[in-house]
Amino acid sequence: MECRLLYLVGQLRLGGLERQLVYLIRSMDRRRYKPVVAVWGSSEDDHYAKDLRALDVPVIRLGESQTRLGKLKALCRLVSTCRPEVIHSYTFYTNIAAWLAAQGTRAIPIGSVRNNFLLDVEEAGKVLGALCGRWPLAQVYNSLNAEREAKRSATIFRPRRIYVVTNGIDLDRFFPGPYPERGYILAVGSMHHRKRWDRLIRVIAHLVSKGLCPMVMHVGAGPLQGELSAMVDNLQVKDLFAFLGVRNDIPDLLAKTMFLVHTAEEEGCPNVIMEAMACGRAVVATDAGDVPTLVEDGKTGFVVPRGDEVALAKRIATLLEDQELCRQMGNAGRLRAEHAFGLDRLRSETFASYRAEGWEDR
């Protein structure tokens, strides 16, 4: 099996980093670059595997062995067989495996941080987090905020060279449609603490007390589902919230929404904000991660401080009461998306990081 570019990813579930990997591979000349995807985990959630195979990209599972050592040996055998020119770990906790598999070969190892740098290190665990934060010595970060965090951190376990390549989106799939006369607010993200959907629930309850009763559609699942469901009951806004679970029809949902609300405490470069802008929808979001660089406050939406629920409520109320402002912000968001969020940029900037590490793009 020929392979010039080997991508190592933890899973292929329905997630943001997995979607970015598919976007990157789809945007390249696959006959020329011969990409192969190696999957570290053994999850049954295999959503993006079929998309990759439809692109004639081999998907190799390393997860048949339940030990890290067994997976690493399988990866090393794959590298020995395929002889890739670049091994790009697309998941933080597989960074060190990509680096180890490249030792003694001509392959250039590249790591990734695709979230909050400090959070990725913490979630990987003390030892693994330190190793993956340091090796490979060259890593691609998907947010400027993650780069700032790494450079400000006191740890020596960070890469020597950081390349920032922000996320891209499919502008043909996410495109503006007619603005709905009576839409809803859309919220998209996992039900984990760092997404802080409790903020949105409290704000909606406050707006109800002021005479505004917007419907909210939430997409996502996670460990806080029961807690959030109980919260909407306790605050008597159950009739205004619909928890839709995991969905794969985000463009259709965005077409019917008035605007997107994003309330996270920690972020990298959130896909859904870019997708909403590409669909011509305004965004109200907290200033987490790269949100302030994606959303131009007052022009394509509103950016509010993470701890200021009064400001969050005020901005949501402004858009609920001014549909023309929603349209104007949505139109400006689409123009921004066309200029900065395309897949050609994602590919060219990623390949530029490979070339900077000595890859010959022949």
- Kindly give, in sequence order, each residue whose CB lies less than 8 Å from that of residue 339, ignoring residues fewer than 6 positions away: none
CA 100 from chain centre, in angstroms, equals: 26
Q: Do domains 5-168+343-356 and 184-340 have the same CATH topology?
A: yes
Q: How far apart are CA 88 and CA 177, in angstroms?
A: 36
Q: What is the pLDDT of residue 116?
A: 86
User: Dihedral, CA atoms, 141, 146, 151, 155, nearest 10 degrees?
Assistant: -100
Report, as an integer, the average pLDDT of 302-331. 97
Tell me the pTM.
Answer: 0.94
Stretch 274-284: mean pLDDT = 98
Report the share of the chain in percent with pLDDT over 70.
99
DSSP strands (E only) in the chain: 5-9, 35-39, 59-61, 86-89, 108-113, 138-141, 161-164, 184-188, 216-219, 241-243, 257-262, 282-286, 301-304
pLDDT tens figures, 180-206: 888 999 999 999 999 999 999 999 999
Across 298-312, b (16+ Cβ under 10 Å) vs e yields eebbbbbebeebebb
**CATH of 5-168+343-356 given 3.40.50.2000, 1.10.357.10, 3.30.565.10, 3.40.50.150:** 3.40.50.2000
3-class state of residue 283 by DSSP: strand
Per-residue pLDDT band at 66 (split at 50, 70, 90): confident
What CATH number should be reported for the domain whose range is 184-340?
A: 3.40.50.2000
- In terms of C-beta distances under 8 Å and separation of at least 24 residues, what long-range contacts does 311-318 make, across chains too? 312/199, 312/200, 312/203, 312/263, 312/284, 312/286, 313/203, 313/206, 313/207, 315/284, 316/185, 316/203, 316/207, 316/214, 316/261, 316/284, 317/207, 317/210, 317/212
Q: What is the pLDDT of residue 45?
A: 65
Could you tell me the pLDDT band of residue 14, with boundaries at 50, 70 and 90?
Answer: confident
pLDDT tens digits for range 216-236: 999 999 999 999 999 999 999
Does pLDDT of 65 surpass 80? Answer: no
Are residues 218 and 237 in contact, defined by beta-carbon separation less than 8 angstroms? no
Q: What is the pLDDT of residue 63?
A: 80
Q: What is the pLDDT of residues 114-124, one digit of tens each?
A: 988 988 999 99
Q: Determine contact, residues 205/175, Cβ cutoff 8 Å.
A: no
- Return the minimum-mean-pLDDT range out of 42-51, 68-77, 92-101, 275-284: 42-51
Q: What is the strand order of the sheet 216-219 is part of?
A: 241-243, 216-219, 184-188, 257-262, 282-286, 301-304
**What is the strand order of the sheet 86-89 is part of?**
59-61, 35-39, 5-9, 86-89, 108-113, 138-141, 161-164
Domain ranges of the chain: 5-168+343-356, 184-340
Q: What is the pLDDT of residue 1?
A: 87
Report, as an integer, the average pLDDT of 88-107.
98
* Average pLDDT over all residues of the chain: 95
| Cα gap 299→197, rounded to integer Å | 24
Q: What's the whole-number mean pLDDT along residues 317-340? A: 96
* 43 within 8 A of 13, measured Cβ to Cβ: yes
Q: For residues 294 and 286, what is the distance between their CA atoms, to the nearest angstrom?
A: 12
Quote the tokens at residue 123: 């979630």
What is the distance between the alpha carbons of residues 325 and 239, in angstroms, rounded to a whole number?
27
Q: Is the dihedral angle over the CA atoms 9, 15, 20, 21 positive or is it negative?
A: positive
- pLDDT value of residue 64: 73
Average confidence (pLDDT) over 253-281: 96
pLDDT, tens digit, for every residue of 164-180? 999 999 999 999 999 98
Q: For residue 81, what are the contacts with CB-CB under 8 A and spacing of at least 6?
A: 1
Pair 219, 245: CB distance under 8 Å: yes
